[in-house]
Amino acid sequence: MNKYRVMLVDDEEDVAQAILKKLDWEAMGFEIPRYARNGLEALELSEELRPDIVMTDIKMPYMDGMELSRNLKQLYPNIRIIFFSGFDEFEYAKEAIRLEAEEYILKPIDSDELRAVFARVHEALDRDIDEKLNVAKLENYYMDSLPLLQEDFFASLVEGRIAQNKIQKFMDDYRIDLKAPLYLTAIVHISMSSVPEGINPVLLSVSVRKLLEERLDPKWGCRFFSYLGSTVMISQLSVEKDAKAFTDECDRLCRLAESICKANVTIGIGEVVDSLSRIDDSYKGARDAVSYRVLYGHTKAINISEISPLEKETEGQESSDSLTDVFKKMKMADSDAVETAARQYIESNLEKQGSIQNHRFFVMELVSELYKFLRGNQLDVNEVFDANKDVYALVQQMEGKELSNWLSSVCLKIRELIDGKRSDNTRSFVTKAKEYVADHYADQDLSIDFICNYLGVSSAYFSTVFKKETGKTFVGYLTDYRMEKAEKMLVETDEKTYIIAQQVGYSDPNYFSYVFKKQFGVSPSKYKAGRES
């Protein structure tokens, strides 16, 4: 039996506790419900819990059930809402219907009625999952949704095999409409280590693809195709900054795929390009972005342009295919893998040099490519090579083992520089976010969306890095900062509580008192009185 997550929202805790005791939740196919005291708390909890069902009272302080439902539906379109209320008013019922509420129950709640409601919701959720994973439907969809000519065209495009002057003719012949000023490529990666038991991995991939096609905003004009076992998207943008919004939407869909399809999805997003003839460049960036799931985690979208300028390949690097693996290891792998790749490169290439002259050309090219790599990634050459020594002359005198030791040592130094610069870049915008909070914590409109617009990054990337660096979500950090300021004002000034609330960014003094009490265990007035006594 599928188990679903439930959240109960009611400002009357005794009512919520009574509901919790009415049903044998686990026997009915639900996890023990989590409880939130109001809409704002529920919205924050939903980010962690990602509930399948929310049962909420309508009339609550700070944020009522209707507003909570509108927010949840926007964030999690597949969520099921059950309203319960002691107010038998037609306007509430009409609004509940408009919000696609699953049920509308009047207090006091009867156990049999509640059991029947949750049984119906469980069946509805089961039908959704069955429809997504139904083998026969997926096989039919798989055959019908992949027009062979279009698939071949897109595959050739990302491989860079179509001349620019022939692209439009192919699109006309295959009835493909791509006319945006800008494009980017995204790769959908599904972890094969977490495929649900009994499901064919290919069919799971199709299920995820169908979800993306149905839920991705039409404004992106995405074209989907299969390439090397993954789903690839080509998105159309009006301006370059649209890539941030596209990344955030892909991040939301990764979470949705985990909920609906039971798939662990990472979407890697390449750089923005101004021509279809450069789609192969965007695809390479998307491929590298997917690889960074080992650093930034799964079930999210990763935009290569946001990670760091270090991740963009230069023309010099692309010209040397044989060093590609060594360069990639320096960016992605641990020290042992870097050293192994460097030694293997020397061993495999030295055998091919049939003369002293060829050997000299080989080591000169090696040093040149290393210089290009350093410059292309904005790294200080002098931190790797001694400025007082002729590196070209030095390596030409080295024998095989000595050259292998030298290259592995150089590559390890470069890896350390890359890792340090990446950390500096990450800390830089986290520091900027903290500084902005310090200067603008009183702004009632300050939010994660606002700070991301200020920094020019997607909320998906910002949230991941901010929590990794600080151990807190941005909202949690902002709340803690505001509470620290409020505590100081309560102790050091004679301002009224509602004035202090406004000065630390809260328009509603009651909600400020609620958050303060949650943080310190007592209300602001009692806290102040306790300090003064």
Do 159 and 293 fall into the same domain? Answer: yes
Say if residues 461 and 308 touch (Cβ distance below 8 Å): no
Q: Is residue 139 assigned to a domain?
A: no
Q: Is residue 204 assigned to a domain?
A: yes
Is residue 316 over pLDDT 50?
no
Q: Is residue 74 assigned to a domain?
A: yes
- Which amino acid, 5? R
- The whole-number pLDDT of residue 223 equals 94
Do 154 and 294 fall into the same domain? Answer: yes
Instruction: CATH number of the domain at 514, please.
Output: 1.10.10.60
Do 251 and 111 fall into the same domain? Answer: no
Token pair 């931190």: residue: 383
Do 148 and 186 fall into the same domain? Answer: yes
Please state, rounded to an integer, the average pLDDT across all residues of the chain. Answer: 86
Categorize the per-residue pLDDT at 84 as very low, low, confident or very high, splitting at 50, 70 and 90.
Answer: confident
Give the mean model confidence (pLDDT) for residues 25-38.
95
Query: Among 122, 111, 165, which Cα is nearest to 3's?
Result: 122
* Entry pTM: 0.51
The 10s digit of each residue's pLDDT in 188-208 is 999 988 787 888 888 899 999
- The whole-number pLDDT of residue 310 equals 44
The 10s digit of each residue's pLDDT in 421-453 is 766 666 678 888 999 999 999 999 999 889 988
Say if residues 32 and 79 touch (Cβ distance below 8 Å): no
Do 209 and 302 fall into the same domain? Answer: yes
Say if residues 444 and 505 touch (Cβ distance below 8 Å): yes
Do 455 and 354 fall into the same domain? Answer: no
Do 372 and 451 fall into the same domain? Answer: no
Instruction: CATH number of the domain at 120, please.
Output: 3.40.50.2300
- CA 259 from centre of chain: 15
Instruction: CATH number of the domain at 154, please.
Output: 3.30.70.270
Structure tokens at 10: 């009611």
Given 307, 339, 365, the domain boundary residue is: 307
Q: Is residue 435 assigned to a domain?
A: no
Q: Is residue 436 assigned to a domain?
A: no
Of all residues in the chain, what percent carry a pLDDT higher than 70? 90
Q: Is residue 138 assigned to a domain?
A: no
The C-alpha atoms of residue 374 and residue 316 are separated, in whole angstroms, by 10
Do 148 and 287 fall into the same domain? Answer: yes
Categorize the per-residue pLDDT at 460 as very low, low, confident or very high, splitting at 50, 70 and 90.
Answer: confident
Do 192 and 296 fall into the same domain? Answer: yes
Token pair 């606002």: residue: 450
Label residues 114-145 b or e (16+ Cβ within 10 Å = b).
beebbeebbeebeeebeebbeeebbeebbeee
Q: In what order do the strands lie in the sheet with 103-106?
A: 34-36, 6-9, 53-57, 80-85, 103-106
Do 82 and 204 fall into the same domain? Answer: no
Query: Domain tally for the chain?
Result: 4
- The whole-number pLDDT of residue 319 equals 38
Give the mean model confidence (pLDDT) for residues 251-267.
93
Given 278, 307, 336, the domain boundary residue is: 307
The 10s digit of each residue's pLDDT in 138-148 is 667 656 765 78
What residue numbers bound the domain in which 348 lies?
316-423
The C-alpha atoms of residue 521 and residue 487 are separated, in whole angstroms, by 12
The 10s digit of each residue's pLDDT in 336-354 is 888 998 998 888 888 777 6
Do 152 and 294 fall into the same domain? Answer: yes
